[in-house]
Amino acid sequence: MILTEMMDKLEQKESRMIEIRRYLHAHPELSFEETETAHYIEEFYKNVHIDKIETHFGGQNGVVVTINGKMPGKTIALRADFDALPIKEETGLPFASKNPGVMHACGHDGHTAYMLILAETLAEMKDELEGTIQIIHQPAEEKSPGGAQGMMKAGVLEDVDVILGIHVMSTMETGKIYYHAGNTQTGRADFTLRIQGKGGHGSSPHLSNDAIVAGSSFVMNLQTIVSRRINPFDTAVVTIGSFDGKGVSNVIKDAVTLEGNVRYMSDETKEIVEKEVRRLAHGLDETFGVTTELQYSNDYPVLYNDPAVTEHVSQVLKQADIKEVTEVAETTPQPPSEDFAFYLQKKRGCFFYVGAMPDDGPFYPHHNPKFDINEKSLLISAKAMAAVALSYCGKSAH
């Protein structure tokens, strides 16, 4: 049976997955700057019997690989991202980052490692496949506008029927796979507000116009958006992550800049939050006599998993009898945003989760300087994606 043969091959290659992951972890690169990682991926495929490789895809660092089966059939896309974050690593791992201030703190090293080995194995077995499998190695997931959009503009989804992706999760138990149909991850917006007041002496506020007071009022009033403007059965988050008001104690601040982040789970909520942020910002002009400049940018959309595809994925995973998997279960929607959502606006697909919580000791969330994954999740990811891919392109799939 093709699935059994695939699973056996992947098991034999587990140590190589780990080796690749550790190399990538030690050599992280920031979004849109991943030239060496892209070169590493390109070099890997020189010894793999693929049908086509496209580098610098979309005018960036993307790599797209095509594997054609012996018979015609569906075209499915499997995506793995490979960028890192501007974080100083504090894991103490022997393969910790060698690039100061840059870290694989979200598991994209693991995504790339399992996908490379899976692609190699699919290529070895392509005579037993029907249709086409397209491997998308995507840069720049972490940084707006995201790498997905550039790759889509270059036609990466042109002939694709279904697209699939996995995220390893340090907050989910290793051995478990999770899925969710419909709206699954939040959409995102960012804004920057500059408030221009009038500086002056700390002893004479009547001769000044304190930008910090106006900014503080804005921060507090923002809290009413979620509590008083959003349906209590919907989801929204409004966060001020930066308040640049540094000065000295006896000087009234002339100007301040605030940076904020918004998350939401529906287009209706997106529009309400933006409207309210703009209203509160512009209201400062009249209330405090300051001048405001607001830059508001809607970023990644809500990630929507096609219900029929998600049901198919969940059933395949439950029936695959992957020995390392203890449970396949539905999860709640996830708070982070993800640019895989752009693909799902154009094509049916499913983005699901593989538990990667360490076996011992504490676990740290994604984007934490002590973040790490359980490397057992690499083989589980490869097997899970293989099972789903073969359900569409294996000879027994039709």
User: Catalytic residue among 14, 83, 210, 339, which?
Assistant: 83
From residue 168, alpha-carbon distances to 23, 99, 126, 165 in Å are: 18, 23, 26, 10
Is 83 in the active site? yes
- Is 326 in a helix, a strand, or coil? coil
Separation CA 23–CA 1 (nearest Å): 33
Tokens standing for 51?
């049908």
Separation CA 200–CA 208 (nearest Å): 5
Closest CA to 274 of 311, 307, 234, 236: 236
Tokens standing for 80?
């793995």
Give the helix/strand (H/E) hosting 350: strand 348-355
Please provide residue 319's backbone torsions phi and psi, each rounded to the nearest 5 degrees.
-90, -10
User: Catalytic residue among 141, 210, 372, 375, which?
Assistant: 141
Is 36 in the active site? no
Q: What 8-state DSSP symbol labels residue 320?
A: S
Residue the block writes with tokens 């992280």: 28
From residue 329, alpha-carbon distances to 169, 181, 350 in Å are: 14, 12, 14
Contact 9, 121 (CB under 8 A): yes
Enzyme catalytic residues: 83, 141
